[in-house]
Chains A and B, each alone.
Chain A
């Protein structure tokens, strides 16, 4: 069973000619089939955790370990991490002008699977996955994220999640900026992947709203660069009622 283990992770970022520590000792274990929600106020370091795990060059790991099935993730390049089974659904996916969605998806699937998918089955696979996400077939001929609405960008991220079948999926604020209909479609996509039992999910969110659609096994409260409380789904209800104030008081800069 695939397991992502994060131990005492410390991460800094360069900003305004100063080095700032964002993550201050994160411990977390995500197993295949589990869903963990990470909730926290703005600026608590949730997205830094997501991007550090994916290997974004902006972040410097200053301490701790991250392993996927015992393999050292921090030693891997960004593309190696993806091929090892890590997937990051981004909050702000970037435009890639001149590169069509279909070309991008096929290039990516070829890299992840280690061989080019057979054309006929691939076309069918993409078509069906797009239908499940209520995406127009014409979408495949558009350039990656170019002129996409917020909802289209998130559907496109989840489309990749469905096609690439990672071991561990990190969803960075996938719910932000979505209306209720889009949120439902996107959540259903995530649930389809979860129901296979083959993916560990790390759901990063500011709001409890998405947890009505995607039921977490574990909820962690993130504040000032570390996990400050962990519990079951009931912890989300507490946050819904009381907000983050209890965690941000007492010096944590949110």
Chain B
């Protein structure tokens, strides 16, 4: 069900629908998931999960040479009343429950963090204000672990903001109780030298809804690994992503939705714009429908808009289906250049070039932004997109 593809020079778009007895999604990783960094060999760059990533720019996160410094990141959690915020030790039972590190850097983060932050929304608590987590880089290196747990039928919005300069490897766990509703907005608005590698693990309870909005603008290298599994039937996951990759930036989003129980839904939409020399965006969208996951309904889409020459996109949707008893499964990926005919049409109506470009890019993101459903976040994103475009024009 791959759509017609419009592919500029210097990009790849590959898709596959596999019907397999053995999961290639799992087996193409170099090592099985583990909490121990020693279980993963140091990557050399040709492994399937590392082949797009510039290892030399990871500042040693991948080979054990990165060491935590005192001035890593400052984390500030602002939570409404009724929410518990704790700093806990490595032995806390809630850590690692949502998922296990799948690559060496996630395992490195798990092996190296000292204190984890656990934010808990008790059962049946419905928050009217978001929980805000500010992660500010202070120039050093840090390993982090964050847990956000919602009890049964709790509802919350969490906004995680990453700013400043840091080398950060982290795991973020989202635990959703039965019938819980969690929206998480993770904004990567780093300074230009920052390196950020993280695995996001969501464990979606029975009849629970998880919505993830990943927004990546800044940093030198950002490599995120949002993953979803279900703890019971009736769960829903929406994974939205928006990135704006500028000159020299590497922004990589590797998603996995593991339909491991019956009657769950997932919908993945990631959109990115790229501009400038050596801007590189990577999108890997893995969806696995296990044999027991009857009644699954899933769709994933990635769209890229290449605004200038010299940018590169690698977009790889991968849908693996082990049962035919499903409601629906589809994927689409398309990468297009900025359309000169659109520009001509708008300019022929008197609209100056920079304004015409802005209209087209805003239009490209508009549909996705509208799906977020949080007006203040939507406004902020639109403002940020405008800012990126202004920077490009200047």
CA distance A88 to B363 in the complex (A): 23
Closest-by-CB residue of B relative to A79 is: B347
Closest-by-CB residue of A relative to B369 is: A98
Contact segment of A13-21, A22-30, A107-115, A245-253: A107-115
Confirm or deny: A143 has a beta carbon within 8 angstroms of a beta carbon on chain B: yes
- Contact assessment for B348 and A54 in the assembled complex, using a CB-CB cutoff below 8 Å: yes
- Contact assessment for A112 and B349 in the assembled complex, using a CB-CB cutoff below 8 Å: yes
CA distance A121 to B344 in the complex (A): 28
CA distance A79 to B345 in the complex (A): 10
Encoded as 1 (CB less than 8 Å from any B CB) or 0, chain A from 192 to 230 comes to: 000000000000000000000000000000000000000
Q: Give the shortest distance, in Å, between B58 (CB) and chain A (any CB).
A: 35
Closest-by-CB residue of B relative to A90 is: B345
Confirm or deny: A158 has a beta carbon within 8 angstroms of a beta carbon on chain B: no
Among A79, A94, A98, point to the contact of B350 (Cβ < 8 A).
Answer: A79
CA distance A237 to B351 in the complex (A): 40
Among A56, A111, A143, point to the contact of B351 (Cβ < 8 A).
Answer: A111
- Contact assessment for B342 and A96 in the assembled complex, using a CB-CB cutoff below 8 Å: yes
Find chain B residues with CB under 8 A from A56 CB: 344
Closest-by-CB residue of B relative to A51 is: B344
Closest-by-CB residue of A relative to B353 is: A79
Q: Give the shortest distance, in Å, between B345 (CB) and chain A (any CB).
A: 5
- Contact assessment for B363 and A108 in the assembled complex, using a CB-CB cutoff below 8 Å: no
Confirm or deny: B77 has a beta carbon within 8 angstroms of a beta carbon on chain A: no
Please classify how large the interface on chain A is, using the bins under 10, 10 to 19, 20 to 34, 35 or more.
20 to 34
CA distance A55 to B362 in the complex (A): 25
Encoded as 1 (CB less than 8 Å from any B CB) or 0, chain A from 31 to 63 comes to: 000000000000000000000001111000000
CA distance A147 to B348 in the complex (A): 21
| A57/B340 contact (C-beta < 8 A), A94-B345, A111-B350 known | yes
CA distance A77 to B366 in the complex (A): 28
Find chain B residues with CB under 8 A from A79 CB: 347-348, 350-353, 356
Among A55, A95, A108, point to the contact of B349 (Cβ < 8 A).
Answer: A108
- Contact assessment for B341 and A94 in the assembled complex, using a CB-CB cutoff below 8 Å: yes
CA distance A87 to B349 in the complex (A): 7
Please classify how large the interface on chain B is, using the bins under 10, 10 to 19, 20 to 34, 35 or more.
20 to 34
- Contact assessment for B352 and A111 in the assembled complex, using a CB-CB cutoff below 8 Å: yes
- Contact assessment for A82 and B350 in the assembled complex, using a CB-CB cutoff below 8 Å: yes
Among A77, A82, A87, A97, point to the contact of B363 (Cβ < 8 A).
Answer: A97
Confirm or deny: B346 has a beta carbon within 8 angstroms of a beta carbon on chain A: yes
Encoded as 1 (CB less than 8 Å from any A CB) or 0, chain B from 362 to 375 comes to: 11111100000000
- Contact assessment for A104 and B347 in the assembled complex, using a CB-CB cutoff below 8 Å: no
Confirm or deny: A167 has a beta carbon within 8 angstroms of a beta carbon on chain B: no
Find chain B residues with CB under 8 A from A98 CB: 360, 362-367
CA distance A21 to B359 in the complex (A): 35
Find chain B residues with CB under 8 A from A123 CB: none
CA distance A56 to B348 in the complex (A): 9
| A82/B348 contact (C-beta < 8 A), A57-B340, A97-B363, A99-B359 known | yes
Tell me the A58-107 residues at the B interface (CB within 8 Å).
Answer: 77-79, 81-83, 87-88, 90, 93-99, 103-104, 107
Among B345, B347, B352, B359, point to the contact of A93 (Cβ < 8 A).
Answer: B345
Confirm or deny: B378 has a beta carbon within 8 angstroms of a beta carbon on chain A: no
CA distance A108 to B353 in the complex (A): 12
Closest-by-CB residue of B relative to A82 is: B350
- Contact assessment for A99 and B348 in the assembled complex, using a CB-CB cutoff below 8 Å: no
Find chain A residues with CB under 8 A from B341 CB: 94
Q: Give the shortest distance, in Å, between A165 (CB) and chain B (any CB).
A: 12
Find chain A residues with CB under 8 A from B359 CB: 96, 99, 103-104, 107
Q: Residues on B close to A: CB < 8 A?
A: 339-342, 344-353, 355-356, 359-360, 362-367
Q: Residues on A close to B: CB < 8 A?
A: 54-57, 77-79, 81-83, 87-88, 90, 93-99, 103-104, 107-108, 111-112, 143, 160, 164
